[in-house]
Amino acid sequence: MATSTPDDRRRVKLPRSLPDRSRPQPYSRADAPYFRSPGFFVRVGGLAVLVGVVIGVLVLRAWSIQILHGPQYTSIANSQSFRVVDLTAPRGAIVDSHGRPLAGTTGHAVVDADPSALGTSDAHGRWSPTAAGTRQLRVLSRLAGVALPTLVAQIRRSVLRSPFAPAVVISRPNSGLVDYLAERASSYPAFKATWVPSRTYPQGALGAEFLGLLGEVSQNELGTKRYASAQPGQIVGQTGVEATYDSILSSGFRHAHLRVDSLGRIVGPLEYAHGKTPPTLKLTIDARIQRAADKAIRDGMALAQANGHSDATSAAAVVMNPRTGGIYALASYPTYNQVAAANDPAYRNSLYRSTSANPPLLNLATQGLYPTGSTFKPIVAEAALTQGLITPETNLLCSGSFTLGNFTFHNVEAGVYSYMSLPTALAESCDTWFYRLGNLFYLHRPGGRDLGIQSWAHMLGLGQPTGVDLTGEMGGVVPTPAWLQRTQHIPWYEGQTINLAIGQGFLAVTPLQLAVAYSALANGGTVVRPHVADAVIKGQSVIPLSFKPVRHLHMTDLAAIQQGLYEAANSPNGTSAAVFSGFPVRVAGKTGTAQAPTGSDHSWYASWAPATNPKVVVVVLIVHGGFGAEAAAPAAKEIYQAFFRLKG
């Protein structure tokens, strides 16, 4: 290897001591070329790229955590530091067709207990009071007059439903207990008198027939179509529009947050979230007409009792728009007081325990099933006209009796003997005329095979649910030979058809069904779908609800039937002329006197007004009220006076 020899002329003698700034630094002549070589710069560049990648990954990860997954991690963090508590939320208001409030929301006092201060829960979530908690509960038991096991059961139920929510142990405390706990809050830290939302009824005890009751959703109701979104412990509508439109009126639970530590112990007060205001449900009901209908059926019962029918203790009325099916009033008696039901649990529970033949919870307008008597005759007439058995001018004999085999059917007026056309037979309600018409049906296809009467009754809405937007509607019966054989195990004889022709026998319909049928007679053949809901109001928006007609029927010679019902209320010999003679608004209507298995006959009146331009259908039933003209027709007149704002 070649080496270099130092030149003596380049030798320099350095001093032994130099200042630091002047001290020469070591320098490797051997490495100098490497720092200027491409390899050096490749390595440095690679290291820079590696550092850049690492920094980029860290930045991207931070961006992902903060931006992409921020809400998710925030939610997880909050779920660990907060617990969600479900509280009762206010329900949407219900108003009548003119905006009058029928049901709103107020608050009532309850006594809450703090489960964590009174006891502990085991691994299975079962809460048990501690010794100190038991002593405190025993004191509350004495103050409130509520058994200790009841208080414990209330807390356990609440803890299972919502572990961190205050447990309502007394749902309806008296004012004395509320004041006592408020004044001695420091002495009873585990108990607190507070307020929860509840229903209020600005119109008082009006409209129980359609408003309905509220109650806690049951285990069997959870998951059903009506309560698909309900949760355990939630207050829901049980009957009436409260139930039908629960998904609109209910806002579910109101959520609050409770701060807890890492061990799940409560460390802060409830923090309430701002809840949404539920929509308002607008009804077709007119509170003024509803009040008048309630009074009218009571007056009808009083009139029947004054006429000697002491068993006239129940009644119903339907007031409806014949063109849309919107119900203006739906009255039933006996009924219940929904104000008392909302405020008094004992009264509410008594409603469900009633063993009366006509319990308060039975809505006779939609659930009462009765034979219609002569109000069925126009339907029989339309069936006969459509089949060509008669024409409007066909004269049949109206006599004092009609004999079939060994049985004689009697007319109300025993001395009558006259041939009548259809309008006159309807106006004077001649039973024997319709007995003979019923016999024509039977002879047309013997053995009851002619189902023309039954077919038209069904098409007009009788003997089946109308589809009204209320709970518990009954279907009823329009008897046929097959039904009679299946249920009564007897064959169909000629007398069955003759009885059906005047609305007797096994025929059983509701007042609402008859109102639907008379609406079709009034409007020209449209079978409406009755309803009490009209629109949903959200803020300034009004969203109408649609109820399409069930069907449109082609009616044959309907004018003859309409003429007969007009004469019934306005001609001298009409069955209700004594009631409506001189009435400012012309009424078309039919009385009905239906025989009952026991007791007095049922009093019916089915009608519409004005006769030539129908705006309202009124159907009244006074159970065991006697003749239709004696009780039901005067009650209907009262309703018309209110509807058209006429002075009595």
Residues 83, 35: Cα–Cα separation, whole Å: 64
Residues 490, 488: Cα–Cα separation, whole Å: 6
End-to-end CA gap in the chain? 141
Rg of the chain over Cα atoms, rounded to whole angstroms, equals 41
Give me the mean pLDDT over the 66-94 stretch: 71
pLDDT on residue 149: 92
Residues 460-492 have pLDDT tens digits of: 999 999 999 999 999 999 999 999 999 999 999
pLDDT on residue 226: 87
Residue intervals of the chain classified under CATH 3.40.710.10 are 287-643
Give me the mean pLDDT over the 432-441 stretch: 96
Residues 611-646 have pLDDT tens digits of: 999 999 999 999 999 999 999 999 999 999 999 999
Angle ∠(365,366,371) on CA atoms, nearest 5:
75
Residues in the chain: 648
Residues 312-342 have pLDDT tens digits of: 999 999 999 999 999 999 999 999 999 999 9
Give me the mean pLDDT over the 587-597 stretch: 97
pLDDT on residue 268: 56
459 DSSP β-pair partners: none
With contact defined as beta carbons under 8 Å apart, do 335 and 209 qualify? yes
Give me the mean pLDDT over the 177-196 stretch: 88
Give me the mean pLDDT over the 513-527 stretch: 98
Residues 365-423 have pLDDT tens digits of: 999 999 999 999 999 999 999 999 999 999 999 999 999 888 899 988 888 899 999 99
Residue intervals of the chain classified under CATH 3.90.1310.10 are 83-119+147-281
Residues 270-308 have pLDDT tens digits of: 656 666 789 999 999 999 999 999 999 999 999 999 999
Give me the mean pLDDT over the 587-601 stretch: 96
With contact defined as beta carbons under 8 Å apart, do 373 and 594 qualify? yes
Q: Which two tokens stand for residue 522?
A: 């009034």
- Res. 85 pLDDT band, cuts 50 70 90: low
Q: Which CATH number fits domain 287-643: 3.40.710.10, 3.60.21.10, 3.40.50.720, 3.40.50.20?
A: 3.40.710.10
pLDDT on residue 412: 86
What three-state secondary structure class fits 67? helix
Q: How many CB atoms lie within 10 A of CB 548?
A: 8
Residues 228-239 have pLDDT tens digits of: 888 888 889 999
Residues 347, 321: Cα–Cα separation, whole Å: 35
Question: Would you call the peptide bond into 202 cis, given omega within 30 degrees of 0 as the criterion?
Answer: no
Q: Which two tokens stand for residue 141?
A: 């038991």
Strand arrangement, sheet containing 82-88: 82-88, 253-260, 266-272
List of E strands, 510-612? 526-527, 533-538, 541-544, 551-552, 588-594, 602-609
Q: Looking at the predicted structure, is the pLDDT value of residue 3 above 60?
A: no
Q: Looking at the predicted structure, is the pLDDT value of residue 30 above 70?
A: no
pLDDT on residue 186: 87
Question: Would you call the peptide bond into 446 cis, given omega within 30 degrees of 0 as the criterion?
Answer: no
Looking at domain 83-119+147-281, what is its CATH homologous superfamily?
A: Penicillin-binding protein 2a (Domain 2) (3.90.1310.10)
Least confident of 23-32, 245-254, 453-462: 23-32
Mean predicted lDDT score pLDDT of the chain: 89
Q: How many CB atoms lie within 10 A of CB 179?
A: 13
316 DSSP β-pair partners: 332, 621
Which residue matches tokens 């069925």?
376
- Res. 121 pLDDT band, cuts 50 70 90: confident
pLDDT on residue 357: 85
Q: Looking at the predicted structure, is the pLDDT value of residue 532 above 70?
A: yes
Q: Looking at the predicted structure, is the pLDDT value of residue 529 above 90?
A: yes
Give me the mean pLDDT over the 41-59 stretch: 81
Contacts of residue 124, defined as CB under 8 A and 6 or more positions apart, other chains included, come to none
pLDDT on residue 139: 92
pLDDT on residue 633: 98
pLDDT on residue 27: 55
